[in-house]
Homo-oligomer: A and B are copies of this chain.
Amino acid sequence: MNAGVDDRRASILRAVIEAYINSAEPVGSAHVASLPGIGVSSATIRSEMNALEAEGYLQQPHTSAGRVPTERGYRRYVDELMTSIDVGPERIDRVDHFFNHAHLEIEELLSSTSRLLTSITDCAAVVTGPSPQRTHVLSVQLVSLGGRAVLIVVVDANGSVEKRTMEWPSEPEERHLIEIGTILTNHFRNREVREVDDIPHSPDAMVDTLIPACILAAKEAVRGAERDGVFIDGASRVVRAFDALETVRGIISILERHYMVVSLMRSILSKGQGVAIGSEHGLSSLRECAVIVAPYRVDGVQVGTVGLIGPTRMNYGSVIGVAQLVSEGLGKRLSEG
């Protein structure tokens, strides 16, 4: 078993996987042999495919069928066999055009990014917004909602607004609200919320006693907003790739639960990877899917992610490329402010 043999075997594996990605049908030796760049007969291919099956990269749905890649096969393909990350010029154009022409509120930007991703890749797309916990605060305001209810409104440097209602000990006075707003704005300004654990003071005793609760509420407002910044689109698109009803239902029910998707993406990233194939991520409803994750950076700091969920037989080269392209574009766009 020398390098030459392994090279050939590898390129046969690549050919099988790419053929399967295109056709979604088991690939036979004759088809591979007919491909340009493969200079050997189908009999040779057969014996190589046999070896690839023994190595766990391919499998046969049944004896008289062609071969289909296993999870392990896809994994190797992504890790070392993929010809190149080839997005295609027209897709690059679409992405460029999108970011050059996007003038939107942050939520609209993220949600249309998600729409862009799904329409380019035919996968379901996930975009998580910049974590408000890690964003600098610009302003804190208090607004009376009537009765003892007070709304605390936090604006951060991304232009996101977080809020939370709190209960005042008694009917709030306008001047207290304004004063606390000013104190908190100065206290939080240009700090990340998670860093703040000291408490400012006021000469006014009444105000002074209220401040700790307000700080707590502001932090909770920001924590609560973490959940909202997830934009998922394209469920109906992924679903086209499958024809087993149970699979479809499983996928939909995961995509519907945004927190599941977020924690899925987090867990993939935390393993230091960008691609999870089939059962690698452990969500059995998505066992026929691959998940691509690409974090994006604002001013050098990773603040959010872009993700794509599609069938394991997706076109990895192009999907991974698009994910990277868009995550870069989004990071750049958000860095400009």
Contact = CB atoms under 8 A, between A and B. Distances in A.
A164 interface: yes
A153 B161 contact: yes
A288 B286 CA distance: 28
The complex is assembled from copies of this chain, and their number is: 2
Contacts of A153: 141, 153, 155, 161
A133 interface: no
B248 A235 contact: no
Contacts of A155: 143, 151, 153
A11 interface: no
A6 interface: no
B144 A141 contact: no
A239 B155 CA distance: 39
A224 interface: yes
Contact of A245 (B107, B108, B138, B243): B243
A264 interface: no
A12 to B, nearest CB: 34
Interface of A: 105, 107-108, 138-139, 141, 143-147, 149, 151, 153, 155, 157, 159, 161, 163-165, 224, 228, 233-236, 239-240, 243, 245, 248-249, 252-253, 256, 337
15 contacts: A105-B163, A105-B224, A138-B143, A138-B145, A139-B141, A145-B157, A145-B159, A145-B337, A146-B337, A149-B159, A151-B159, A161-B163, A236-B249, A236-B253, A240-B249
